[in-house]
Amino acid sequence: MRFVQPKSAKEAALLLAKEKGKSFILAGGTDLLVKMKSGVVEPDLIVDIKLVDAMKQIKKTASGFVIGAAVPCAALSENKALVMAWPGVVEAASVIGSKQVQGRCTMVGNLCNASPAADSVPALMTASAKVIILGPKGSRKLAVEDVPTGVGRTNLKKGELITAIELPKKAVRSGDAYLRFIPRSEMDIAVVSCAVNLSLDAKGVITKARVALGAVAITAILVKDAAKAIIGTKLDDAAKAKLAAACSAACKPIDDKRGTVEFRTQVAGVLARRAAETAYTRAGGK
């Protein structure tokens, strides 16, 4: 196995593109090193991206935030402007694994590991986040919801790497929230999770909404019917009931020791209602 530490994203992309063996990107390593230890992956090349300065930064721009692929999740909650604008994204990224894992793990890693239960992914989806991809043919952008295609699978092609996540500027009177169900309250993997991002008009009526679920299908999913159920309402009880029903209807979960199909399906609706209430309050709704 070879280990390289490129100084630029371009150099990293070139190294990945020309590697004939199995190459892996190392950011936090909290998934990669576990897979290496268990023998699930045997890399020929590891490309450590943590010497690329631009990938280690959180930048506030005129159009929102650009979060580098090597920024550890622990750094997100230390950025006050980011917490103010996207509390739901930050709270989702801040519950991944333990404090030890948060010191290393990244949102891009969470996305590319492509676990259906990835905490940050539903929140990024509802925030309309995009990823910036660099590859042999130049750079392209992809919506976060278009990155994972299945368990452990993504739309990234050979030689491509995600250099950053772009979060849009927070809309006026908008708010986001993320909730998950876990059996052990201090730390666990989501059994079901839900993110909601919504915008209000001056009267408190929801004008835009995005709702996403995690751990109830082969990838995290955007649920358009759930968003429709609350748009045009003030999140009254009838709207919340419709929201919950739409979320439950979108679930295609697995049945395992951590949660049955019935449990996950019902809890998806409950979490959606509660996450929507928090997002509504954060947006300034009463």
Partner 1 sequence: MGVHVHATVNGDNVEFTCPEDEVLLDVLRNRLGLTGAKEGCGTGDCGACSVILDGRLVCSCLVLGAEMNGKKVETIEGMADGGTLHPLQQNFIDHAALQCGICTPGFLIAAQALLRKNPDPSEEEIRFGLAGNLCRCTGYDKIVRAVQAAAKEMRS
* Helices and strands per DSSP (H, E), number in the chain: 11, 14
When asked if residue 36 is in the footprint of partner 1 (CB under 8 A), the reply is: yes
Q: Based on C-alpha coordinates, what's the Rg of the chain?
A: 19
Two tokens, residue 236: 């009254």
When asked if residue 40 is in the footprint of partner 1 (CB under 8 A), the reply is: no
> Where do the DSSP E strands lie in the chain?
2-4, 23-26, 45-48, 58-61, 64-68, 130-135, 138-143, 148-150, 153-154, 161-168, 174-181, 192-200, 206-214, 221-222
Of residues 148-187, those binding partner 1 (CB under 8 A): 184, 186-187
- The residue (of 50 and 210) whose beta carbon lies closer to partner 1 is 50
When asked if residue 100 is in the footprint of partner 1 (CB under 8 A), the reply is: yes
Among 11, 60, 83, 104, binds partner 1 (CB under 8 A): 104
Q: Which of these segments, 25-33, 142-150, 220-228, 268-276, binds partner 1 (CB under 8 A)?
A: 25-33
How many residues bind partner 1 (CB under 8 A)? The answer is: 28
Listed as own residue / partner, the contacts of 138-141 with beta carbons closer than 8 Å and 24 or more positions apart are 139/163, 141/166
In the complex, what is the shortest distance from the CB of residue 188 to partner 1, in angstroms, rounded to a whole number?
9
Q: 3-class DSSP state for residue 227?
A: helix
When asked if residue 83 is in the footprint of partner 1 (CB under 8 A), the reply is: no
When asked if residue 37 is in the footprint of partner 1 (CB under 8 A), the reply is: yes
When asked if residue 101 is in the footprint of partner 1 (CB under 8 A), the reply is: yes
Of residues 187-206, those binding partner 1 (CB under 8 A): 187
Give me the phi and psi of 16, to 5 degrees please: -70, -40
Two tokens, residue 111: 């996305």
| Cβ burial, residue 142 (10 Å; 0-12/13-18/19+) | middle
When asked if residue 11 is in the footprint of partner 1 (CB under 8 A), the reply is: no
In the complex, what is the shortest distance from the CB of residue 105 to partner 1, in angstroms, rounded to a whole number?
9
Name the strands in the sheet holding 64-68, side by side, starting at the edge strand that comes first in the sequence.
58-61, 64-68, 161-168, 130-135, 138-143
In the complex, what is the shortest distance from the CB of residue 137 to partner 1, in angstroms, rounded to a whole number?
29
- The residue (of 24 and 280) whose beta carbon lies closer to partner 1 is 24
d(CA 286, CA 85): 19
When asked if residue 84 is in the footprint of partner 1 (CB under 8 A), the reply is: no
In the complex, what is the shortest distance from the CB of residue 58 to partner 1, in angstroms, rounded to a whole number?
15
**Interface residues with partner 1 (CB under 8 A)?**
1-3, 5, 26, 28-30, 33-34, 36-38, 46, 48, 50, 72, 74, 97-101, 103-104, 184, 186-187
